[in-house]
Amino acid sequence: MTMYAKYKIVSIFPAFVLLAFALQSCHHADENKEKDTRFHVTDSLLKNVIIDTVKEASALSQITLTGSIAPDENKMVKIYPMVSGVARDVHVQLGDVVQKGQTLAVLKSAEMAGYTKDYISSEADIRNTHRILESTQDLYKSGLASQKDLEQVQADYQKAVAEGKRASQVIQINKSNENGYEVKAPLAGFVVERNLTNNTQVRADNGQNMFTIADLSTVYVLVNVYESDIAKIQTGDPVKITTLSYPDKVFDGKIDRINNMLDPDNKVMHARITIQNPGNLLKPEMFANILIKAKSGESLPFINTNALVFDNDKNYVIVIDGSKAKVHVQQVQIAKTVEDRAYISKGLKPGDRVVASRHVYLFESLKD
């Protein structure tokens, strides 16, 4: 081989090396460029996704307790006998709906007969004393009766009128007809207690009520609060109530009263919730489950749970880096979840912006 040929080969070899290096550099540059596009999000894409800003608030705790439905005490009356007698014609049963003024039962009562006699006698006394008064006034004008006689007759007439008013009030309070004393409903509602049957002997001095009528348009939920949960709840906390009868229906309310003493038998403290009862669905003594959202006193950043991505037993979010169209995957630790809120203990701070839609697609593209 000639020296010229050797020199030519030696001269060409570095050129091939440089060309190969250049091609390899271009290949790596293309790879890097392709890789960068996977981590770079365009402005147009960001305009088409939902962005959620991390907020901070006092973390809520969910407490599940049990309780029962009870009538509203302000809309419930117990009916006691005003007279003694024997029950006849008990018209209503437990659970019946009654209207105000409806007759619930009739009592055969000797006392009622006495009240009627007193009323009739008082009416007769009024008429009689009125005639005597008119006659005495004429005699007084003629000088045949003294001032003392006139004053005495006037006093007798006033006493008769007063007695007539008393007897009339007694008759009005104790409604009766030819059949006897009528027990009437003082308000519209449900018969939630019935202690009267036909032929029952009733005494006016008996402490047992005959009926209890309750308006169930609003009801109480009496909650049993265990000692470990007392410090976690307060008046005004929102609650959600479900029952065995309506497992798919949720009733909303707020705690409006918390007792200050523990029940000595059950070692629980009672709280009360007043709720509206549309359609009178809730009945007294129904069992209820109560979910209370109570403030824990700890402030934590939170996001909507829809912004989370769960992968390999870990939670992630897609965080937007500043004002630029760049994002990155951020692992987060969840302190607690309350309904649609996820409280974050590590990984986010208030003010951070996270992608809340199409984030699963972005996560799959970015995680590698």
User: Residue 57 phi/psi, 5° resolution?
Assistant: -160, 165
Q: Give CATH 2.40.420.20 domain extents, the chain.
A: 39-59+299-366
Question: What is residue 74's three-state secondary structure?
Answer: helix
Nearest alpha-carbon partner for 218 in 82, 73, 97 = 73
> Residue 329: what are its φ and ψ, rounded to 5°?
-80, 130
Looking at the chain, the domain(s) classified CATH 2.40.30.170 span 63-73+214-297
Helix (H) or strand (E) holding 220: strand 218-226
Class of domain 63-73+214-297: mainly beta
Give the bridge partners for 52, in sequence order.
354
Q: What are the DSSP calls for 243-258, one per residue?
A: ESS-TT--EEEEEEEE
pLDDT of the residue at 36:
44
What confidence score (pLDDT) does residue 50 get? 83
Reduced to 3 states (helix: H, G, I; strand: E, B; else coil), residue 332 is strand
- pLDDT of 6 reads 46
Residue 286, classed as helix, strand or coil, is: coil
* Residue 143 φ/ψ region, left for φ over 0, alpha for ψ in the -120 to 50 degree band, beta for the rest: left
C-alpha to C-alpha distance for 309 and 326, rounded to whole angstroms: 18
> Which of 318, 339, 342, 341 lies closest to 330, judged by CA?
318
CATH tag, 39-59+299-366: 2.40.420.20
- Find, among 237, 257, 247, 310, the residue nearest to 61 by Cα: 237
Q: What is the pLDDT of residue 175?
A: 66
pLDDT score for 32: 46
pTM of the model: 0.53
3-state secondary structure of 319: strand
Paired tokens of 181:
């004393």
Fold (CATH) for 74-213: OB fold (Dihydrolipoamide Acetyltransferase, E2P) (2.40.50)
Q: How far apart are CA 228 and CA 226, in angstroms?
A: 5
The residue type found at 284 is P
Query: Looking at the chain, which residues constitute the CATH 2.40.50.100 domain(s)?
Result: 74-213
Supply the pLDDT for residue 343: 81
Per-residue model confidence (pLDDT) at position 119? 84
CB atoms within 10 A of CB 308: 18
3-state secondary structure of 193: strand
CA torsion angle 362 365 366 368 (round to 10)? 150
What is the C-alpha separation between 342 and 314, in angstroms, rounded? 14
pLDDT at site 19: 45
The two tokens of residue 260 are: 């200050």
pLDDT by 10-residue block (mean), the chain, 368 residues: 46 46 49 47 71 75 84 90 84 90 86 78 91 89 86 92 87 70 88 90 84 92 85 84 89 88 83 89 90 71 87 88 75 80 84 83 75
Comparing CA positions, the residue from 253, 302, 312, 258 lying closest to residue 282 is 253
The candidate with the shortest Cα–Cα distance to 105, out of 139, 125, 66, 79, is 79
SS3 state at 203: coil
